[in-house]
Homo-oligomer: A and B are copies of this chain.
């Protein structure tokens, strides 16, 4: 196997809180990330596809095609958005980098071909990031009041 990666960036706002927690507990747990009006990041998303290069092209997957998938399935929905309010597929999900990453995996794993989605890395900043290889993880969906 060989692994090819495409990186894109998007800018979004989010707020971390659990609607079943009291305000005090949200404040205690999420601290600055719980700021009511939200805060934001320039996110960096790296999507890695595993496969064997097609002998007639030398490509595992055409990275222009992979970029287009990322554009259509992710970027168009999250760039310059508030992740808590504006993104249908994140509705009710606590938008931690972990949960966003798992959600992106669930969307992308069926859309990518040729090759097979192997890894997603999501950077919230250049000093904090998440890596995920698709082990099944349940993300709870909370009802927003």
Name A's B-contacting residues (CB within 8 A): 1-9, 11-14, 16, 18, 20-21, 29-33, 35, 37-42, 48, 52-53, 55-60, 62-64, 79-82, 84-86, 93-99, 101-102, 125-133, 135, 137-140
Instruction: Enumerate chain B residues within 8 angstroms of A132, measured Cβ to Cβ.
Output: 2-3
Cβ of A2 and Cβ of B130 under 8 Å apart?
yes
Q: CA of A99 to CA of B79 in the docked complex: distance in angstroms?
A: 22
Instruction: Enumerate chain B residues within 8 angstroms of A94, measured Cβ to Cβ.
Output: 57-58
Q: Give the copy number.
A: 6
Instruction: Enumerate chain B residues within 8 angstroms of A37, measured Cβ to Cβ.
Output: 13, 38, 81-82, 84-86
Tell whether A41 pairs with B42 under 8 Å between CB atoms, given A4-B97, A11-B125, A58-B98. yes
